[in-house]
Amino acid sequence: MSPTVFRKDGYRFFFFSREEAQKHVHIYSGEGEVKFWLEPQVEMSRNHGLSPAQLKKIELIIEEHLDELKTAWDSHFSS
């Protein structure tokens, strides 16, 4: 199961269920996929195919929605 938290600018922001405990989000687009840690700070974990410009845009979106992402993580993984 990989619930979508939101979509923005052609990117899907989602979690994989039953993955590692450290808060993070996966982002997918037609060009590739990236994983960002949400704590202790927003930081890229790994990238598959996205350009530096795309990564910067995604990081800005994450920063804008950080509280929403953390709340969604807590809600999804508390069950």
Element counts in the chain: helices (H) and strands (E): 2, 5
Model confidence over 41-69: pLDDT tens digits? 999 999 999 999 999 999 999 999 999 99
* Full domain range(s) for residue 39: 4-77
Residue 18 to residue 2: CA distance in whole angstroms: 9
For the chain, the domain total comes to 1
Q: Contact at 8 Å (CB) between 10 and 30?
A: yes
Angle between helices 52-64 and 66-77 (to 10 degrees): 70
Identify the three-state secondary structure at position 21.
coil
The predicted pLDDT at position 1 comes to 61
- In this prediction, residue 2 carries a pLDDT of 78
